[in-house]
Structures are given as structure tokens and as C-alpha cells.
Amino acid sequence: MPTAPVFTEPVRPVTASGVPLLGNLPEFARDPLAFFTRLRDDHGDMVEWRLGRQRCLFLSRPDHVGELLGGAESTFEHAKMPPTFLLLHGEGMVNSKGDEWRRKRALVQPAIRPRQVRSYARTMAQCAEEFAEGLTVGERLDVRRSMLKLTQRIAVRTLFGTDTAEQEATVARTMDVAQREVGAELGGFASMVPGWAPTPGRRRLKAAIAELDAEVLRLIREHKGTAGEREDLISRLLTARDEQGRSLTDREIRDEAVTLYIAGHETTGTTLTWAWYLLSGHPEVRARLVAEAREVFGDRFPDHDDYPRLTYTQQVIKETLRLYPPVWLVYGHATDRSTVGGVRIPAGSRVYASPWVTHRDPRWFPDPETFRPERWTEEFDAVLPAHAWFPFGGGPRACPGARFALVESALVLATVARRFSLHVDPGALPAKAALTLQPAKNVLGTVTTA
Ligand code: HEM
């Protein structure tokens, strides 16, 4: 059996030339995916570049990526969130570091472990069935919007434990407004206005967060009496205790539930969108996926126990995440203890790695631009270097929701695909690097029979 490559040759950073004062900023801002790909192609695996005066390093070799991700919370400092995120996320684990982050992660992670994901799977399949029930052959739809609505419904029900359509609608609506306004603050004009200025967007954001908080805190209070009997995330967090026996406060539960919602719903909805797009261009893959779904589910209602048997569907999702990793960039700040490949990295440098670039490297993925789920055999997995495929990051800060996302994507795709196909209109669909990797235009399609 072939073995994984061993990296022995030393690597020295090469500097990519930029323009005076701005460094590589113009090229980075224009098209970050093309920029990072060019850095790797033209300069190699470890490249120094500048974002204005900020010294940066770009890594593309899997072992180096592993050193960066593995060093989070020790030799590297984890990326900081923009201040506007704080308004919505609050003190959720994404915004914490050190002991505070460790405590929160230890309290929250058990609630989304594989055993717990089992109980969420029923809601995932139920929402997918409800979605499929509402489809008609020949209907036109916006595939991305439909998938985001579906993963939003799953997130609201599994995380917040809503019981009524009204509660569900309030959480979904206020989250939509809040996320839109936070997004607007990240780029464009709003980001240049001083933080204290009450712009119309910020007023909308604050109003949406106030309404969201009132609803979520009401749900937390309601769930207190029945927490041991319910299986939603809020109920699990209500019974979680740290090593000193301390529980999370209501505010902390709110912050973690909102954080998981934001981290999980759009990433998974976008993965499903790219999956439908890729399936639409590869009828042979779609036919195999449909055959598997029909064989595994039969006429029954899908369940978590079906997940391990959906092996081809899992390969389709893995390959989709390889070509279109929603989190397309990860980074950390170098400290005075940071090294990569034996090279000392100057403290304060920003060190980046991109799944987009490493996942499309022919050294790890032959014929990298081709969508080929069949490549994901056990033998291929065994020789693939660690961190050559890292859509969920890695190291201590790796995505705690990876299992949740993989089970959800596979169950939703197979549940819908056994009856219908969401056939995306032919034509190229370029990717654009926003906060997550997004299709650069609307993803319109037609419902067809499976
Ligand atoms: C396809 C879907 C998903 C992808 C591609 C994804 C990817 C990632 C990545 C790459 C990170 C690490 C970021 C970094 O190192 O800077 C991360 C962190 C995180 N993800 Fe996910 N994620 C997905 C779904 C989910 C879901 C469903 C949940 C929750 C149910 C979730 C919760 C989180 C949280 C809370 C963190 C922060 C962890 C920490 O700071 O310790 N993610 N995710």
C-alpha cells in the first residue's frame, strides 16, 4: 500500500513584491483567491507578503498548515474577530481565548458530539422531507436561498429548541437582519463610520439583537423546567457543568447558541448549494447518489443510522468541500514563540493558509479541478498528508460542528435527491471570497424528477 509523503526538504520564505506603502493589498483586495493561488504558483510553499505595513506569511504545504493550526492557543494567537461581531456573538467561544475559551469549548463541545448529533439527525431529515414535500416538478427556484432557508430551519429547531412556528420565525427573522447589518459593517462605507455613530444600519442591528435576545432568553427560561428531558442544544447547555461544577449563565447560553447558529447555518447551506451545482453538471454522479439514497432509505423516513451507509453521498460532500471550502481562509498571529518548518516567524506577523489553494494543489489531489467523488477511497485517505484537506480547520480551534455539518449535509442531500433534483441552470458559477466562499451570482435552477 502506498504511504503518505514525508516532508524533508527545508523551506525558506520568499518575498512577493508589492507596491510602495500598500504592499500586496491591491492584488489581495481585487481577488484574494487568485492572489493566494499566484503566491503559491510563483513563489512556493512559504511566501512573505505585505498588507499595507502589516507583515504577512502565506503557507500552502500541509505540514506547515498543521503547525499553524496546531499552534493556535499556544505558539500562535488565534485570529481576532472584528468588533462588530461582538455585538451579535457576544462572548461566545469564537470571541474568547485562553482559559475562558477552554472553559466554554469544554462546556459546549459535548452538546454537538457525534452521540448528540444522533438526536439532531431526526430534525434534519424531517426538515429536508418538509422541504421536498413543498417542491413541484418544473418549479423554478433560487437554489442558494432555498438551501439557506432549510439549514436555517434546522439550526433554529436543533439549537434553540423552538416549539412553535412563531418562535421559529422570530429567531430566523431577527438573525437575518442582524447578520445582514453585521456583514454591511465589514466592508464598504459603514465600516468607515466611527463605532459610536448611530447610523440607520446600526439602529436596525441593535433593534434586531434586542428582539432576538428577548426571544432566546425567553426560550432559555422556558426550557429550564424540562432541560433534562429535551434534546435541543439550549437544554443541553442548561445541564452542562464545568470541572468546578459551575454552569453557564443564561447570557452565556444565549451567546453560545447564537455563535453555533452563525458558524453552522450559512456554511452548511452554502455547501449544499455547491453540491447541487456540481451534481447538475455531473449526471453520472447524481445518478449514483440517487441510487444510493433509494437503496439505503427505501420508502422509510431517513434516520441517523442511515448516515454510515450513505458512503457515496459522504464522498460527494467531501469532494464538494474540497473544491468549495466555505471557510476559504484561516489565519493566526505570530508570537515570539512561533516557528513554521523550523523557520522563526517574526512576532506580530499574520500567518495565513487557504483550503482553497491547498485543496487545488495537484501534488495532493491529482487532476485537482475535476469533481470526482470517487477519488475519496480508503486508500486515498490513508496516503493523503494530514491537513491537505482541512475545510474544518484543525488543531485545538478546529470546527466543533464538523460532525453536525457532515451528517446534516449528507442527510439533506440524500433525502431530497431520492425524489427530486434541484437542477442548476447550465453555465459557469464562479466563486467569490466573501466572509465565506460564495457563488458570485444567483444560483437559479429548476426542480426535476430524481
Ligand atoms: C460545512 C460546514 C462548516 C464548515 C466548513 C466549518 C468550518 C469551520 C472552520 C474552518 C473553523 C475554524 C476557523 C479558524 O480556525 O479560524 C470553524 C470553527 C467553528 N465552527 Fe465550524 N464549520 C461548519 C459548520 C459548523 C457547524 C454546523 C457548527 C455548529 C453546530 C460550527 C461551529 C463552529 C464553532 C463554534 C467554531 C469556533 C470554534 C472555536 O473558536 O474554538 N461549524 N468552523
Could you read off the pLDDT of 270-296 as tens digits, one per residue?
A: 999 999 999 999 999 999 999 999 999
Measured CA to CA, the distance from residue 63 to residue 206 in angstroms comes to 43
- Assess whether the C-beta atom of 79 lies below 6 angstroms from ligand 1: yes
The alpha carbon of 264 and the centre of ligand 1 are apart by a number of angstroms equal to 7
Q: What pLDDT sits at residue 92?
A: 86
User: Grid coordinates standing for 250?
Assistant: 443564561
pLDDT in tens, 44-93: 999 999 988 899 999 999 999 999 999 998 999 988 777 667 778 888 88
What share of the chain has pLDDT > 90, as a percent?
67
- Assess whether the C-beta atom of 333 lies below 6 angstroms from ligand 1: no
pLDDT in tens, 376-391: 999 999 999 999 999 9
Measured CA to CA, the distance from residue 272 to residue 191 in angstroms comes to 30
Q: pLDDT band at residue 168, thresholds of 50, 70 and 90?
A: confident
- Assess whether the C-beta atom of 391 lies below 6 angstroms from ligand 1: yes
Is the pLDDT at 297 greater than 90? The verdict is: yes
Q: What pLDDT sits at residue 6?
A: 64
Closest residue by Cα to atom 16, ligand 1, is 330
Measured CA to CA, the distance from residue 110 to residue 31 in angstroms comes to 39
Does domain 14-449 match CATH 1.10.630.10?
A: yes
Mean per-residue pLDDT, 422-427:
96
Specify whether the CB–CB gap between 242 and 136 falls below 8 A.
no
Closest residue by Cα to atom 37, ligand 1, is 94
**Burial tier of 313 (Cβ tally within 10 Å: 0-12, 13-18, 19+):** buried
The alpha carbon of 399 and the centre of ligand 1 are apart by a number of angstroms equal to 4
Is the pLDDT at 202 greater than 90? The verdict is: no
Mean pLDDT (the chain) is 91
- Assess whether the C-beta atom of 258 lies below 6 angstroms from ligand 1: no
- Residue identified by cell 438573525 is 175
Mutate which of 123, 352, 392 for ligand 1 pocket (most atoms within 8 A of beta carbon): 392
- 93 CA: nearest ligand 1 atom: 40
- Residue 7: helix, strand or coil by DSSP? coil
252: left (phi > 0), else alpha (psi -120 to 50), else beta? alpha
Sign of the C-alpha dihedral, residues 391, 395, 397, 398?
A: positive
Q: What pLDDT sits at residue 280?
A: 97
The alpha carbon of 263 and the centre of ligand 1 are apart by a number of angstroms equal to 6
Is the pLDDT at 242 greater than 90? The verdict is: no
Q: What pLDDT sits at residue 60?
A: 96
Q: What pLDDT sits at residue 1?
A: 46
Mean per-residue pLDDT, 249-277:
94
Mutate which of 109, 399, 403, 406 for ligand 1 pocket (most atoms within 8 A of beta carbon): 399
Q: pLDDT band at residue 346, thresholds of 50, 70 and 90?
A: very high
- Assess whether the C-beta atom of 105 lies below 6 angstroms from ligand 1: yes
What share of the chain has pLDDT > 70, as a percent?
96
Identify the helix (H) or strand (E) that includes residue 210: helix 200-224
Between 410 and 19, name the one with better pLDDT: 410
Q: What distances in angstroms separate CA 202 from CA 145, 258, 270, 310, one per listed residue?
A: 25, 19, 26, 45
pLDDT in tens, 3-18: 666 676 667 788 888 8
- Assess whether the C-beta atom of 273 lies below 6 angstroms from ligand 1: no
Q: What pLDDT sits at residue 434?
A: 85
| CA proximity to 427, closest of 439, 438, 419 | 439
- Assess whether the C-beta atom of 401 lies below 6 angstroms from ligand 1: yes
For the stretch 342-347, contacts whose Cβ atoms lie closer than 8 Å and that sit 24 or more positions apart, written own/partner, are 342/10, 343/11, 343/12, 343/13, 343/46, 345/57, 346/55
- Assess whether the C-beta atom of 268 lies below 6 angstroms from ligand 1: yes
- 256 CA: nearest ligand 1 atom: 35
Q: pLDDT band at residue 401, thresholds of 50, 70 and 90?
A: very high
User: Grid coordinates standing for 110?
Assistant: 459535548
Q: What pLDDT sits at residue 252?
A: 92
Specify whether the CB–CB gap between 437 and 326 falls below 8 A.
yes
The residues spanned by each domain of the chain are 14-449
Closest residue by Cα to atom 27, ligand 1, is 264
